[in-house]
Amino acid sequence: MPDTDTDQLRDPDQLRDPDQLRDPDQLRGVVAGFLRRHDRTGDRTAFLRARFDAGLAWVHHPVGLGGLGLPWHLQAVVDDEFTRAGAPDNRPRRNSIGLGMAAPTLLRHGTPQQQRRWLRPLWTGEEIWCQLFSEPDAGSDLAAVATGAERSGDGWLVDGQKVWTSLAHRARWAILLARTSSTGRRHAGLTYFVCDMTAPGVQVRPLRQMTGEAEFNEVFLTGVRLPDAMRIGEVGEGWQVARTTLMNERVAIGGRPLAREGGMIGVLADAWRRQPEIRRTGPHQDLLRLWVRAEAARLTALRLRQQLVAGQPGPEGSAVKLSFAELNQLISGLEIEVRGAAGLRHDDWTMRRPEEPDLLGRTATYRYLRARGNSIEGGTSEILRNVIAERVLGLPSEPRVDR
Give catalytic residue positions.
249
Q: Pairing mode, if any, of strands 216-227 and 231-232?
A: unpaired
For residues 111 and 134, what is the distance between their CA atoms, to the nearest angstrom?
Answer: 25
> Tell me, what amino acid is at 102?
A
Spatial distance between the Cα atoms of 287 and 251, rounded to a whole number of angstroms? 25
Let me know: does 254 contact 324? Beta carbons within 8 Å: yes
- From the CB of residue 198, how many other CB atoms can be counted at a distance below 10 Å? 9
Residue among 149, 118, 160, 154 nearest 227 (CA):
154
Residue 168 · residue 174 · CB < 8 Å: yes
Residue 63 is given by DSSP the state B
Q: How far apart are CA 271 and CA 331, in angstroms?
A: 12
What are 157's strand-pairing partners?
A: 150, 225
Residue type, 297: A
